[in-house]
Amino acid sequence: MSLSSTTSVVESDWRERTGERSEPERDRQLDSTAPHGVGPALPDPQVVPKAEKAKRRKRSASEKRRILAAVDQASEPGEIGRILRREGIYHSQLSKWRKQRAEGIELGLSEKARGVKGPSVKTLQEENRKLKRRQVRLEEELRRARIIIEFQKKAAALFEPMTASEES
């Protein structure tokens, strides 16, 4: 194709598209209803139905050991990949299970409770220190309150004979 024919095609295409979109217009509407109620309604491709939340798979220690044994016995190329696809696991999980097995952590292959863990020793020690400081502060306030109460009792005892003699 010569340069002059290329430029003429480009110019003619440019003239045709001035002010218009480069994409072809869609034949159907964006919503799920057919135009003017004719024909079946097409689902909106931009609306995805809400799927249920995926649940985690939990594998027992025996399942993990079985999968590791099958992978260890795999001798043909691609057999490990077939095992991983069949079991629905990733290679990273397999690597983690191998590492745990090599370290001798049998508990590492078993299920672990997920979620919020209990308080650590450090947080318990910090809470203990805070409670002790609070106890010391409250004991000091109690000591001061007792002193004030004793003073009020003595002051009341001093003024009591005066009020009795004034009334008579």
| Average pLDDT of every residue of the chain | 76
What tens digit of pLDDT does each residue of 124-137 get? 999 999 999 999 99
Give pTM, 2 decimals. Answer: 0.35
* Phi/psi at 120 (5° precision): -80, 170
CA–CA distances in Å: residue 165 to residues 152, 154, 158, 159, 161: 20, 18, 12, 10, 6
H helices present in 88-120, as ranges: 91-103, 106-109
Per-residue pLDDT band for 146 (boundaries 50, 70, 90) equals very high
The pair of structure tokens assigned to 78 is 């691609």
